[in-house]
Amino acid sequence: MEIRRIILLAFFIGLSYMGAAVKILGTIAFDSMPAFLAALLLGPAGGAAVGAAGHFFTAALSGFPLTLPVHVLIMGEMALAAAAVSWIYRRLREQPRAKRVAGMAAVAAGCLINGPLSLLLLYPWLLPVMGRAALLAYLPVLTAAALMNIGLAFGLLRVLPGFVKVNGKAGSNCED
């Protein structure tokens, strides 16, 4: 692994820790914005690593309110969401007809994975702890937070290409 990629990965993990301190509700925080940005710049594996670390930081700073095993599952879900955003964006960006919708499709997929799909997959573990009403109340907040995190990452992606270089290429043009 190239030293520049390692440094950027460490930088995004550090940003993720800082974002974990900015809570929206419970363990919903701005820890995933650096993960989505890392996914867009460094690829699916980099984004997944930062996403998992970011949720771990958020859960640890909150005292693991949903139990450690549940938070480990959420770490996996965050890794999947970041990797999916990267994969979808990179694949569609290469297609001439889909280039314009690549960002929107990636945002939609990330919001679906991080919001409704996440709660659906975690339903058996969260229902006894939170109850059905709390889970339903979390859905719009979780989805809106995902939209803010992913939207902010895409906004920064437009600003950063001249500043961040990976593999000698600037910004969103870099590949794995």
- Report the predicted TM-score, pTM, of the whole model to 2 decimal places: 0.89
Q: Check residue 100 and give its pLDDT.
A: 82
Inter-residue contact 40 to 81 (CB < 8 Å): no
The pLDDT value given to residue 27: 76
22 vs 117: CA distance, rounded Å: 24
Token pair in block for residue 5: 């990629």
Q: What is the extent of the structural domain holding 149?
A: 3-173
What confidence score (pLDDT) does residue 17 get?
A: 96
Q: How far apart are CA 57 and CA 116, in angstroms?
A: 22
159-167 mean pLDDT: 66
CATH of residue 68's domain is 1.10.1760.20
Determine which of 24-38, 46-60, 63-77, 139-153 has the lowest per-residue pLDDT on average.
24-38
Domain total of the chain:
1
Mean model confidence pLDDT for the chain:
89
Q: What end-to-end distance do the CA atoms of the chain give, in Å?
A: 10
Burial of 2 (0-12, 13-18, 19+ CB in 10 A): exposed
**Which residues fall within 8 angstroms of residue 1, CB to CB, at 6 or more apart?**
none
